[in-house]
Structure 1
C-alpha cells in the first residue's frame, strides 16, 4: 500500500473498533461520538498514539501515574489530534457542522473507509420491550450514516450492530435491516454481512455481532467479504485475571497498580499486557447481603459447575421480591472456561452479573478486568468529563464497545484484500 488508508469512525464510543483498525495500519481522520466522557477517552487515546509514534510515550506514562493533568497531556500533542474527536449527536441538525469538521481534518485527502454502527440498545430485545420502535430516534440513525457515505464515497464501509437488528421491525412490519440494506444499495454500495462470534477470533468472551461490509460499485459475483482466519487461543478466562493484584469489594484504585505476577502468555499474544502503568483496577463496594450471595454463587460454580438459583440460597438471603427478579441476576465469570459470558453496558449498574471467580476476593469485576475481557490493552484509559475517575462511566464505555481483537482481525483482512 503506497500510503496509509484513512478512515472515519461514526458512533465511535470508547474506540474499540477504531483501535483494532489503527493496529492493523489504518489512520483515523476523525471520530464522531455523542457521549462526552467517551470523547475524552478517544482524545486521550489519540494522544497516546501520537506520543508513541513520536518517541514520547514517557509523557503518557506520567499521565497514567497522575503526575500531569489531562490538559497538560493534550497540550503536548498537535491540536489536530484532539480536534479529530467530534463530540456531536449525529442527526439532521448537526450533519453540516460535523461535515465541516471532518472536512477540516481531511484536508485535500480522500477518505478510504467509514466504520462504526449506531447505538445498539434500540435494536436489542430489551430495547424493543421498552417502547415503540419507531418512536426511538436511534432506530433511524442508519439514514444519517448513509449521508456520510454519499458525501465521502469511501471504497468500503464496515457497519457493526447487535443480532437484534436482524429481526427488529418498524410499525408497518418491515425489517429495519432490509430497509437499511436497500438504502445502502440505492446509494451505490454492494452489501454483504455475517454474524461473527468474538470468541472465534481471539477474544475470551461469548459475544456475537453483525458485521456488515459495503463496497462501492462492486459488480462482480465474487464475494468481497473479508475471509477472516479464526483464532481460538489455548487460554481460559483466568489468564485475564490471575496476574492482577488481589483486592476485595471497594478495594483497588483507578490510578496505577502493578500486576503481582508476570502476565500470562495469552495476555502477551493478544497485546493486552503492556509495560505502561495499569489503571482502573478498582472494585465497587457491595452490601453485606450481596457479598454473602456472591460467596454462594462462586462456591456453587467452582465446586459443582452450576449457576446459582433462588432455591439455593438460605432463608435469610431470600429477600428479593419473588423469584423472577432473581433469575440469572447473580452470575459468576467462569475462570476455567475458554470464554466469559457477554460483557454489556449494564455492568455499570451493579456488577451482580459479573462476579469474580476467586471466592477469597469476593467482589464483582473491576473496569480493568472487564476491559481485558473486551481485549482492550492495559494502557487504554477510560475518561470522564470532569477528569476525575468515574467507575460507572468507565464500565458503560467498556460494555458498549466492540472487542479490539475482533476489530483488528476484520481490519487486517480488509487491508490485505484492498
Structure 2
C-alpha cells in the first residue's frame, strides 16, 4: 500500500504537510499559496509535489486534478488554514459551485473538499474564531462541511502540550466523511498555559493533571546546543552534541548548521538589549519612548517560548531576546522553537522574509501529532 495523499492549501512554507510526512504514512502531493517565496520553500522541501504560487480562487480544480492525475476520491486528507478574514460573509453552499470566482478563501477550501472528497480534512485557524460573533462564524464553517457530507469536531490546543517548545494556541477542526470517527490525540506534555478560555471547557485539549507527563520543552531545551554568537555574527558548525532529546530529533539528518546568524543591532539597540529582562519595565525609560509590555524583553530559559511572531529577529517588536546572549534570536533558533528540523530549507536570503516564513508556519511537530492520529484512524502504519 502506498502512502496516503495529502493536499496542503494556503500552505506557506509547508510546515503542516511536513509534519504529516514525518509520520511516514503520508505524502504531500499538492501545495498552493499566494506568496511566491513561501511556495519556493514548499517546493524545496516537497520536490515531488505540485507547488503553485497563485490566488487559489484563480485555479480551476479540474485543471489541478488533470495536472496531478488525481481525481475524486484519490486524495486522502486535505489540510490548511484559510486566512480568517471573511468567515462572517460565508454564503451558504456557495462552495458547491466548485469553480465560482466569487468564493471566499474559506469557501475555496470547502470547494476542494467537495471536489476531491478526502476521507479527512484538518482545518487550522486562530483561536478567536471560536468566539467571534458568538461562535456564528465557526458554526458557518461547520455547516458548510456538513452540507458536503462531513461530520466535524474542533478543539483549542496549545502546541507546548504536544512537544513544541512554544505556547502557540490554535483552533483545530477535524472533519471526517459522514459516519466516521474523530479521535483527538492526547497531550504528550504537561503544562497549563494561558488561554482565551471558552464557555465549554471540554473544547480545550489539555493534559490531565494526574497523567504523569513530562514538562513541555523549554526554550533552552530547544536551542542550548547552538553555539553562542554575538550580534552580527554567524556560526556554521555545531559546537556540541545535542543536549536534549528535542535537539537530537531536530538534528537527526546530520546537516551542517545553517541560518544561525544574529541580527546586527545598532549601538543604541545593544544598550537596550543589555538591560533587557522579563518585560519592557526592565528598560530605563530614557532609552525607549513606547512599546508593548513584551517588547525589548528576554525569553525565559526555563519555559516554552511565547508565540513566535514574524518579527522575532527585532527586539522592538516582541519578546525575542536570547535568554543569556545580548541579541535577538537567530533564524535557526526561531525555526527550532517552531519545531522545524535543521535540514528544512528556506528559500531566499533576506532575513526578514525568512523570519516571516518561520513565524507564519504551522509547527511541523504539531502537524505530525495530528497526522499520526489521522493515520491511525485510516489504519495506516506510522514510523
Q: TM-score band, normalised by the shorter chain?
A: 0.7 to 0.9
Match of 1:8 in 2: 7
1:228 is matched with: 186
Q: In 2, are the aligned partners of 1:368 and 1:378 still within 8 Å (CA)?
A: yes
Partner of 1:252, secondary structure, is coil
- 1: CA distance, partners of 2:129 / 2:318: 27
Corresponding residue to 1:344 among 309, 325, 337: 309
Aligned residue in 2 for 1:406: 366
Q: Report 1:141-156 matches (<5 A).
A: 141-156=105-120
- On the 8 A contact 2:41/2:346 being kept in 1, the answer is yes
Q: Which has the higher helix share?
A: 1
What is the CA deviation profile of residues 251-275 of structure 1, one whole-angstrom value per residue up to 9, with x for unaligned ones?
216xxx1111111222355445530
Q: Which residue of 1 aligns with 2:153?
A: 192
> Are the counterparts in 2 of residues 34 and 88 from structure 1 also a CA contact under 8 Å?
yes
Encode CA deviations 1:32-61: one digit per residue, 9 max, x unaligned. 1111111111111124xxxxxxxxxxxxxx
When the two chains are superposed, the root-mean-square deviation of aligned CA atoms in Å is: 2.7
Describe the shift of the 1:294–1:110 C-alpha distance in structure 2 as closer, same or farther (beyond 3 A).
same
CA distance in 2, matches of 1:10, 1:308: 38
State the secondary structure of the residue aligned to 1:278. coil
Conservation of the 8 A alpha-carbon contact between 2:225 and 2:247 = no
Change (3 A) 1:400 1:102: farther
**What is the aligned partner in structure 2 of residue 29 from structure 1?**
29
Offset from partner CA, 1:189-237 (integer Å, 9 cap, x none):
1110111111111111101111100111227xxx523333523555432
Q: Does 1:391 align with 2:351?
A: yes
Separation in 1, partners of 2:330, 2:102: 30
* CA distance in structure 2 between the partners assigned to 1:412 and 1:396 by the alignment: 27
Judging changes above 3 Å, is the alpha-carbon distance between structure 1 residues 329 and 343 closer, same or farther for their aligned structure 2 residues? same
TM-score, normalised to structure 2, is 0.81
Q: Paired residue for 1:251?
A: 233
Q: Secondary structure of 1:159's match?
A: strand
From 207, 211, 219, the equivalent of 2:168 is 207
C-alpha contact (below 8 Å) 1:15/1:401 kept by paired residues: yes
Deviations 1:170-191 (A, max 9, x none): xxx8832111111111111111
Please, what TM-score do these two structures have when normalized by structure 1? 0.75
Q: Is 1:90 the counterpart of 2:56 in the alignment? A: yes
Q: Note the C-alpha offset of 1:134.
A: 6.1
Structure 1 position 87, deviation (Å): 1.0
Tell whether the 8 Å contact from 1:119 to 1:138 is kept in structure 2 after alignment.
no
Aligned to 2:260: 281
Contact 1:192 1:225 in 2 (8 A): no
8 Å Cα contact 1:226-1:417 kept in structure 2: no
Aligned to 1:168: 132
> 5+ residue gaps in structure 1?
48-80, 302-306
Distance in 1 of aligned mates of 2:70 and 2:107: 25
Distance 1:138 1:347 in 2: 36
For 2:18, the equivalent position in structure 1 comes to 19
Relative to structure 1, is the Cα distance of residues 99 and 32 closer, same or farther in structure 2, using a 3 angstrom cutoff? farther
Distance, in Å, in 2 between the alignment partners of 1:278 and 1:165 is 38
Number of aligned pairs? 341
In the TM superposition, residue 315 of structure 1 has moved relative to its aligned partner by: 5.1
CA distance in 2, matches of 1:230, 1:162: 22
**Structure 2: which 5+ runs fail to align?**
91-100, 191-213, 379-383
Partner of 2:381: none
- Residue of 205, 224, 228 corresponding to 1:242: 224
Q: Distance in 1 between matches of 2:62 and 2:351?
A: 33
1:308 paired to 2:295:
no
Secondary structure of 2:121 counterpart: strand
Mean alpha-carbon deviation: is it higher for 408-417 or for 369-378? Answer: 408-417
Deviation string, structure 1 residues 55-77 (Cα, Å, up to 9, x no partner): xxxxxxxxxxxxxxxxxxxxxxx
Q: Partners in 1 of 2:4 and 2:362 — Cα distance?
A: 21
